[in-house]
Amino acid sequence: MATQVGFVGLGNMGVPIASRLVDAGYALTVYDLRQDAMAALTARGARAAASPADVAAAADTVLLSLPGPAVVREVVLGANGVMASATVRTVIDLSTTGARTSREIAAALGARGIVAVDSPVSGGVAGAARGTLALMVACPRATFAGIEPMLAHIGRVFFVGERPGLGQTMKLANNLLSATALAATSEAVVFGIRSGLDPSTMIDVLNAGSGRNSATEDKFPQAILPRTFDTGFTTGLMYKDLKLYLDEAAAADVPMSVARAVGELWRRASEEIGADRDFTTIVQLVERAAGVEVKG
C-alpha cells in the first residue's frame, strides 16, 4: 500500500475518485486550480498543496485526473510539475490523452526513475462516486501488483498490457463506441417520434431487443427522457476524445469511415449546441432538424 498518495485534478471525476481513496484510509495530498474543489477534499481530511510539485514532494504515488493532453504535459513536465519532485516514484494518469502523449510522458518520467502508469477510466461521474469505473491499466507487471489494491477502490481494474499507451488505445476504442451509440440512438428515437411512436415505449422495446446499448440503458432513461442532461461529461470532452481516436487511427493506418461520420456529428454538436453542455444534449442536434422533442 502506498504510504502517501497525491491527487492532481479535482473536476467532476477527480473529486469522487479522490473521495473514495480518502474513505479507504489513504493519506491524500491534493491540488487543483480551484480552491473550492480542494476544500471539498480537505473537509474530508486531505491536505491541500500549492502546486503539482508540492503534491509530488509529499507522495510516493501521484494520481492525475485532468481534461486533456496539454494539461497533463504541463502538470507532469512543467516548471512546477510532478516531475520536479525527487520523492514521487509512481505517476498514475487517469486522464484520456491518447497513446502518443502517454508514451511521451512515460519516457520523460522513466528518465528520472519514475514509473508511469497509463490508466484511463470509463463509467462517468456516477461510476466514480459508486466506485464502479472500468480502469484500463498499462504498466510494468510488478508495478501493477503494487497499485491494484488501491485502484480497486475506484472500480474494476483491467491489466491491458505493459506498453505505455495501451490503456489510452483501449479507452479511445471504448469512447468511440459510446459516442456512436448515443449519436445513433438519438437519430433512431427522433425518427420514431416523428413517425408517431412514444419515446419511453421505444426505449423499453430497445432495451428488451437487439438494439440495446449504453445509451438506451443509461443516458436516455436517466438524462434525456427527463430532460435533465446532467451526466457530468461534456460534449467538448467527447469531441476531444473522438479527435484523439481519429488521429491515432490515422497514424495506425486503420480504416475509419464510421468514426469519421460520428466525429462529424460530435463536431456539429460541440459547435451548435455547445462544447460546455452535457454530452447527452447531442440529441438536440437531431431534435432541431426534425422539429420534435425527446421527452418521457
Residues with a known catalytic role: 171
HSE-up (13 A, CA, CB side) for residue 124 = 17
Nearest-angstrom CA–CA distance, 200 and 39:
40
Nearest-angstrom CA–CA distance, 294 and 287:
7
> 153: which residues sit within 8 A by CB, 6+ positions away?
20, 21, 23, 24, 131
| Cβ atoms 246, 264 nearer than 8 A | no
* Cell (9 digits) for 202: 421505444
* Cell (9 digits) for 92: 498514475
